[in-house]
């Protein structure tokens, strides 16, 4: 991983992988959460909310 500026403490660091996430080695803040709350159910919910192809064609005319 390339050095980047920590958004929390401002130091230029290489984030450290710890227990499924990346944290700053200076301030120890979780800088890159492992999944940020996403899960398989979220993806399925998004699929359910998207209209099927051709579903809204009659409404647009």
Distances from the Cα of 20 to the Cαs of 7, 23, 46, 58, in angstroms?
19, 10, 25, 47
Q: Which pLDDT does position 59 carry in this prediction?
A: 54
Give tens-digit pLDDT for 27-58.
Answer: 999 987 666 565 555 555 445 545 566 655 55
Distances from the Cα of 29 to the Cαs of 44, 45, 48, 52, 61, in angstroms?
31, 30, 35, 42, 52
Q: In whole angstroms, how large is the CA radius of gyration of the chain?
A: 20
Query: Residue 17 and residue 24: Cα distance in Å, rounded?
Result: 9
User: What is the domain partition of the chain in residue ranges?
Assistant: 4-49
pTM above 0.75, yes or no: no
């Amino acid at each position: 991983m390339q050095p980047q500026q920590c958004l929390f403490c401002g130091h230029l660091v290489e984030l450290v992988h710890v227990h499924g996430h990346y944290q700053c080695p200076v301030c120890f803040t979780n800088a890159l959460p492992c999944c940020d709350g996403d899960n398989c159910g979220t993806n399925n919910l998004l699929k359910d909310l998207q209209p099927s192809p051709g579903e809204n064609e009659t409404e647009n005319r």
